[in-house]
């Protein structure tokens, strides 16, 4: 039997085990049925973020943002475009810093938009400021290699 990846569902927070060779087949959460690696950006809360950072075997890129932030809103379509390009080898999520102030404190966020790349339970790198999709993709690939 091949390698098995653990993915936290960004919709319900459940841990799922997915055969690595089936990641491209569009796996779904065993609890809620949500797609786990479909290239869509998911809005997650601090609790789900904590689970995903600790539990995911696939790199996770998180956009820390707020609705009142103009550059954050401008970057949203670019972040979504990067999510499509990086899927299913990297998952992208957004955390609203205003609705989740614990995330701001925990990750020492001093300005937004801020992208933090997590892999294997730890923070790998940060990228601040609004960026085009190509820059986001290059940033991820430079830190996780051919996985992405």
Which is nearest to 53 in space by CA: 144, 121, 148? 121
- Residues 62 and 144: their CA atoms lie apart, in Å, by 14
144 vs 126, which has greater pLDDT? 126
The vertex-137 CA angle with 133 and 140, nearest 5°, equals: 140
**What is the CATH T-level fold of the domain 38-147, as seen in this structure?**
Glutaredoxin (3.40.30)
Cis peptide before 113 (omega within 30 of 0): yes
Active site members = 69, 72
Question: What's the pLDDT tens digit per position in 110-142?
Answer: 999 999 999 989 999 999 999 999 999 999 999
The rounded mean pLDDT for the chain is 94
Record the pTM. 0.94
φ/ψ of residue 33, rounded to 5: 85, 0
> Quick check: 147 pLDDT over 70?
no
């Amino acid at each position: 039997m091949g390698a098995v990846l653990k993915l936290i569902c960004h919709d319900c927070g459940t841990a799922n085990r997915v055969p690595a060779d089936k990641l491209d087949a569009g796996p779904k959460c065993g609890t809620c049925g949500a797609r786990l690696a479909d290239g869509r950006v998911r809005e997650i809360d601090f609790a789900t973020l904590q689970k995903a950072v600790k539990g995911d075997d696939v790199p996770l890129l998180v956009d820390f943002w707020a609705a009142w932030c103009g550059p954050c809103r401008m970057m949203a379509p670019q972040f979504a475009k990067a999510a499509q390009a990086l899927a299913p080898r990297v998952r992208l999520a957004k955390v609203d810093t205003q609705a989740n102030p614990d995330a701001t404190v925990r990750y020492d966020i001093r300005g937004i938009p801020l992208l933090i790349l997590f892999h294997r339970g730890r923070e790998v790198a940060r990228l601040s400021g609004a960026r085009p999709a190509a820059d986001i993709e290059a940033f991820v690939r430079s830190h996780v290699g051919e996985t992405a």
